[in-house]
Structure 1
Amino acid sequence: MIPVTGVSGRKIAVLGLGRSGLSAARAIRAGGGEPVCWDDGAEGRQRAEDEGFTVTDLTRGGAFEGIAELIVSPGIPHLYPQPHAVVSAALAASVPVDNDIGLFFRSVGVDGLPKVIAVTGSNGKSTTAALIDHVLRSDGRQVQLAGNIGRGVLDLDPPGEGDVVVLELSSYQTELARALTPDVAVFTNLSPDHLDRHGGMGGYFAAKRRLFSEGGPDRAVIGVDEIEGRFLAGQMAEGAGDDRVIRISVDRKLPGPGWSVVARKGYLAEWRKGRQVGAIDLRAVKGLPGSHNHQNACAAYAATRALGLSPKAIESAFHSFAGLPHRSELVAERAGVRFVNDSKATNVDAAAKALLAFDKVRWIAGGLGKEGGVTALEPFLGSVSKAYLIGHSARDFAVQLTSIPVEICETMEVAVARAAAEAAPGEVVLLAPAAASFDQYPNFEKRGDDFKRLVGALDQTG
């Protein structure tokens, strides 16, 4: 645990008592503060009481008298579509609002220790963060992985000299944190997501941008395949040759004298001052299939090069990376048919990248569709033989997918059975939902687990 600094003798309100909220309460108590906890659910309040925390209804009048600040869990809205009532009360009482990420950054980093690499973006954050962690561990570094992946940031062991902390940070986390001081900040890409929470695309980008504009990293690794990334790189760099900014792309060679890492046709190349200084053949890296994973590889390569690792050490580590569950995860191969679980592909952009990673696809999609549906996926369906649609948006998706055969299956069980029965050797049965899971599953992990279970049952019966 990392004790929070600057809270000794002060009352600190904590709203939301899930993983990050309880972790924050423990770290505040360890730092000498007095946590005052609240959760809208009785179960969360009971968890806090079981650990001896004071639970107080922060929605009642006068609840913020004597409170120094409010710590809010990531899932609780603080601005759009409208602030939670407790957040509104805190703001009305002029009480500062922060989150566990802000507490982390203000409680570590004395004298530049440890090194902190923070990864944000729309897609690929988890794989990129896990890959950075894997590369550093393979090089013998002492590393801890936290944030949106792994442990809560305040649950980490106090880092020592030479240690590295790798954080995956969502827009919910970067938007609210009052302190953001990473040594290396990574921006993978940007595509529409969580727009209601951020008041539109501009607010969503602004939330990501704070990691750089307010974080002031020593090195900024920025994906420039979207206009927002190019804009951000331009804002962070003093000139074309400023090597504090490392631009990454899977679309094109990047001109100029600066530092860049590019992956094209399966080959990663590092360029500095107009010269190629490193290269990796990513086609042979089994844990990173497809251009979207090649973008993740570029980001991880750049971040670890920024910490001084050699190209050969990074390449060696790439080959031993097994990938993450629910992200282009090869589940099984049955009679020449591969079954791939990309349940994390919860939006159109992620699904497009998953579809482009394979040549012959039988596509399982659907769930709780997002604004705009899947119409934008039409240009990416050239490899799809048929779509098997599940969940709440199955019929809407069926209307929108006009260029390929579709079958409304409703449930994962029916979709897996139908796709497996019709798949031919050399094809891939791909779960890439392009939708949220909440209509049928509590999260994308449970959805992916169900897919894996059903594929396993095919092996037993087929």
Structure 2
Amino acid sequence: MIPVRGFEGARVAVLGLGRSGLTAAKALQAGGAEALCWDDNADARARAEAEGLEIHDLGKAGAFDGVAVLITSPGIPHLYPEPNKYIARAWEAGVPVDNDISLFFRSAATSEWDEFDVTPKVIAVTGSNGKSTTSALIHHVLTEVGRDSQLAGNIGRGVLDIDPPGDGGVVVLELSSYQTELARAMTPDVAVFTNLSPDHLDRHGGMGGYFAAKRRLFAEGGPDRAVIGVDEAEGQFLSNQMSEGNGDDRLIRVSSGQKLAGPGWNVFARKGFLSEYRKGRQVGSIDLREVKGLPGAHNHQNACAAYAAVRTLGIAPRVIEKAFHSFGGLPHRSQLVTESDGVRFINDSKATNADAAAKALAAFKNIRWICGGLEKEGGIGAVNAHLGNVTKAYVIGREAAQFALQLGDTPLEVCTTMAEAVAKAAEEAEQGDTVLLAPAAASFDQYDSFEKRGEDFIACVQATLG
């Protein structure tokens, strides 16, 4: 655990007692603060109290008297679609609102770092799609080459739950827009922006607010190096703002599908080959086509971003390539479940929006597509360009019939349940087909999380195939 510094003897309120909230409260206590904890859920309060934490009703009169700061969990909205009532009360009381990401950046560096031969580094990854795979791939490469690496944030452990980084250690953080939009302190050594597509628009008041939340990692953080995907206008804008000119090698531009030219530092993938260019000359390349853990153009973009991030640490291209080949991928992200009689079953339950699903559809041919769920704002129009790869769609979810109406002339069947969809797809699949779960929707109409949805898909595949 990383004890929180700067609040010794202070009263600090903690709102939300899930993973991040509980860890933040304990880390505050470890640093000498008085953690005052609250959650509207009685079970969550009971769990916190059982772990020795003090429960403090933030709804009572005077609840914020003497409180130095309110630490809120990422899932709690503080502005859109409307402010949480406790956060609004903190504003009224003049109490600053912050989160655990900020506490990490305030507390990770200590005087012990002065004695290290190699100063620890923090690599922070954000973006709409691919940030989990990119973060995990960076961590995997570092681990494979013998660097002390820890993976935390929106993946792995809570940021304050990790061990203090040692000599030469690297902390890899996946950061969601919910985390970056509020943190008052963000100072990564390397910041990575994968891409941007519509998501969480209600939480951020629209696309502009969503991008602004991501941009804060760079604008507020001032990283030593910025790795930025430039396949969308927002990435181009951000890379332009971060650069002082064409030769500024503090910026690494990343792309999947287009060759990047110019005297700067560029990493891109085309036709399955990753290329690194510096000052107009190629200095590295990797054939990604046989890297089984990174199928499809969207994963090639993730590979480029991860490659660029670890290159800033001086790791050689050939060493990175070897580590890529031992990367098994992440559960629920283009995960190969099994192959039977020439039919592949792929679990991409993490494709919770249309853009992510479109990338999955582009990665395979002859797809029997299991899709549907709780549709997000913006619809599913992004998948239209790739419906030619779909042999048939099998639509699940409580609103399956409405979802199906948006698929045009694509052959489809409304199945509603995962079990029925998997059974039908497996029965009708032919050699060379791919049965792909890429829902293009959230899971919450039928499942507690996309992980639960993916686990159900795996269980149904196993039950169907025997």
Taking structure 1 as the reference length, the TM-score comes to: 0.99
Task: Kindly provide the CA deviation profile for residues 115-174 of structure 1, in whole angstroms up to 9, marking residues without a partner as x.
Answer: 000000000010000000000011100000000000000000111120000000000000
Question: What is the CA-CA distance between 1:59 and the residue it aligns to?
Answer: 1.4
Alignment of 1:133-152 (within 5 A): 133-152=139-158
Q: Which residue of 2 aligns with 1:423?
A: 429
SS at match of 1:216: coil
Task: Kindly provide the CA deviation profile for residues 216-274 of structure 1, in whole angstroms up to 9, marking residues without a partner as x.
Answer: 00100000000000000000000011110000001211121000000000000000000
Alignment of 1:244-259 (within 5 A): 244-259=250-265
Task: Kindly provide the CA deviation profile for residues 271-306 of structure 1, in whole angstroms up to 9, marking residues without a partner as x.
Answer: 000000000000010000000000000000000001
Question: Which portions of structure 1, spanning 4 or more consecutive aligned residues, are displaced by more than 6 angstroms?
Answer: none
Where do 5+ consecutive residues of structure 2 fail to align? none
Task: Kindly provide the CA deviation profile for residues 291-330 of structure 1, in whole angstroms up to 9, marking residues without a partner as x.
Answer: 0000000000000001110001100000000000000000
Q: Which residue of 2 aligns with 1:78?
A: 78
Matched pairs, number: 460
2:160 corresponds to 1:154? yes
2:183 corresponds to 1:182? no
2:369 corresponds to 1:392? no
Question: What is the CA-CA distance between 1:365 and the residue it aligns to?
Answer: 0.1
Q: 1:340 aligns with which of 343, 346, 354?
A: 346
Q: Which residue of 2 aligns with 1:46?
A: 46
Q: 1:280 aligns with which of 286, 295, 305?
A: 286
C-alpha separation between the residues in 1 aligned to 2:272 and 2:228? 20
Alignment of 1:215-364 (within 5 A): 215-364=221-370
Question: What is the CA-CA distance between 1:371 and the residue it aligns to?
Answer: 1.8
SS at match of 1:228: helix
Question: What is the CA-CA distance between 1:214 and the residue it aligns to?
Answer: 0.6
Q: Which moved more, 1:369-378 or 1:189-198?
A: 369-378
C-alpha separation between the residues in 2 aligned to 1:19 and 1:376? 33
Please tell me the residue identity of whatever aligns with 1:206.
A
Q: Which residue of 2 aligns with 1:212?
A: 218
Asked if structure 2 preserves the Cα contact closer than 8 Å seen for 1:114 and 1:162, the reply is yes
Asked if structure 2 preserves the Cα contact closer than 8 Å seen for 1:368 and 1:438, the reply is yes
Please tell me the residue identity of whatever aligns with 1:19.
R
Question: What is the CA-CA distance between 1:424 and the residue it aligns to?
Answer: 0.3
Identity percentage of aligned residues = 70
Alignment of 1:88-127 (within 5 A): 88-110=88-110, 113-127=119-133
Question: What is the CA-CA distance between 1:403 and the residue it aligns to?
Answer: 2.7
SS at match of 1:284: coil
Asked if structure 1 preserves the Cα contact closer than 8 Å seen for 2:274 and 2:288, the reply is yes
Alignment of 1:23-34 (within 5 A): 23-34=23-34
Please tell me the residue identity of whatever aligns with 1:397.
F
Asked if structure 2 preserves the Cα contact closer than 8 Å seen for 1:108 and 1:114, the reply is no
Task: Kindly provide the CA deviation profile for residues 72-130 of structure 1, in whole angstroms up to 9, marking residues without a partner as x.
Answer: 00000111111111100001111011100000000013458420000000000100000
Question: What is the CA-CA distance between 1:459 and the residue it aligns to?
Answer: 2.3
C-alpha separation between the residues in 1 aligned to 2:459 and 2:435? 14
SS at match of 1:283: coil
Q: Which residue of 1 aligns with 2:13?
A: 13
C-alpha separation between the residues in 1 aligned to 2:317 and 2:409? 43
Q: Which moved more, 1:103-112 or 1:250-259?
A: 103-112
C-alpha separation between the residues in 1 aligned to 2:103 and 2:279? 39
Question: What is the CA-CA distance between 1:375 and the residue it aligns to?
Answer: 3.0
